[in-house]
Amino acid sequence: MRAVRRSMLVLLLVTAIPLAFAAEPADGKHRSPFNTEIFRPQVVLHEVPLVTDAAFVTVTGVVFSHAPIDRVTVGERTALLRPAEPKDLVKLAKVPPSATDAPFRTYFEVPDAGLPRIGVNDLEIRAWGTDGRKSDLHRVTVVRTLTTQENDQ
């Protein structure tokens, strides 16, 4: 009787081990059964001028997140942060549906984001949460034109 139980236990273990490995994803990455994408910070920008003759632009917006925001970078500058007020939320053109459930809403502002070149300038915007998550990278293209004084010369 013991021999039968022992052989059944060995048979059970031998068949269970390959099944455990077969349950792994084929690409080798472990996937969570939950969609954690919704917990990433989401950046929503206020209007940014697309064409200007100034050497600097002001970039503002609101970050919706499930954890406090550690920092927001615009280009190579770190933004000033504060809790978003209702007046900041009203200025937003469109808010993603998943962002409305986020408990943390942080207003950010960079009053002097530099446009170093005449012509096309790309500003990269990204938010980092205190939980280690970061937002998608947003790129805003602003065209800097010559001022009227520079055109006259």
Residue 111: the pLDDT is: 93
Query: pLDDT tens, 90-121?
Result: 888 888 887 878 899 999 999 999 999 999 99
Query: pLDDT tens, 39-94?
Result: 789 999 998 889 999 999 999 999 999 999 999 999 889 999 999 999 998 888 88
126 has pLDDT over 80 = yes
15 has pLDDT over 60 = no
Residue 12: the pLDDT is: 47
Would residue 22 count as lying in a domain?
no
Q: Which residue has the higher pLDDT, 3 or 44?
A: 44
Q: Domain span at residue 51?
A: 36-152
Would residue 144 count as lying in a domain?
yes
Would residue 90 count as lying in a domain?
yes
Would residue 69 count as lying in a domain?
yes
Would residue 17 count as lying in a domain?
no
Q: Which of 119, 123, 115 is nearest to 60 (CA)?
A: 123
Would residue 5 count as lying in a domain?
no
Any idea what the CATH number is for the domain that residue 130 is in? 2.60.40.650
Task: Report strand pairing: 138-144 vs 104-114.
Answer: unpaired
Q: Which of 64, 101, 100, 62 is nearest to 81 (CA)?
A: 62
- Distance CA(130)–CA(134), nearest Å, equals 9
Would residue 132 count as lying in a domain?
yes
What pTM value is reported for the model?
A: 0.71
What is the side-by-side strand order in the sheet with 80-83? 42-45, 56-65, 104-114, 80-83
Would residue 63 count as lying in a domain?
yes
Domain count, the chain: 1
For every residue of 49-95, DSSP letters joined together read -SEESSSEEEEEEEEEESS-EEEEEETTEEPEEEEPPHHHHHT-S--
